Amino acid sequence: VLSRVVLRKDGFTCVEPTAPTGEFTTPALRFDGNSLILNINTSAIGHARVEIQDESGKPIPGFSLSDCDLIHTANSTKRAVRWHDNSDVAAISNQTVRLRFELSHGVKLYSFRFEIRK
């Protein structure tokens, strides 16, 4: 018998809402980089948004859920999050922040990372 198993890159486990819409907030973290990258699969009808909050949980101006461009029809290991069509988060790097994720309709979030993009 010959078998083959294929796993998505960094896709061993994921966060997925059990109701039509779900959300979670990360513990406080610090990052270095200028772009937030997601490993995400939104399915055909799902969508996601990300908010960057300060250490106390208040949205940082320009990075709220309502500022976030809707992430939909994505099946990517390198999807950059954008707020008003801008993915640059360098101005808040090295600060203590929290990330609030809003996921709906079967979105699977496998991982997130900050990186330096040119």
| Per-residue pLDDT tens over the stretch 30-78 | 999 999 999 999 988 899 999 999 999 999 999 999 999 999 988 999 9
| Per-residue pLDDT tens over the stretch 103-117 | 999 999 999 999 998
Mapped to the 3 state alphabet, what secondary structure does the chain carry?
Answer: CCCCCCCCCCCCCCECCCCCEEEEECCCEECCCCEEEEEEECCCCCEEEEEEEECCCCECCCCCHHHECCEECCEEEEEECCECCECCCHHHCCCEEEEEEEEECCCEEEEEEEECCC
Q: What is the pLDDT of residue 4?
A: 83
Residue 18 has pLDDT above 90, yes or no: no
Q: What is the pLDDT of residue 7?
A: 73
Residue 5 has pLDDT above 80, yes or no: no
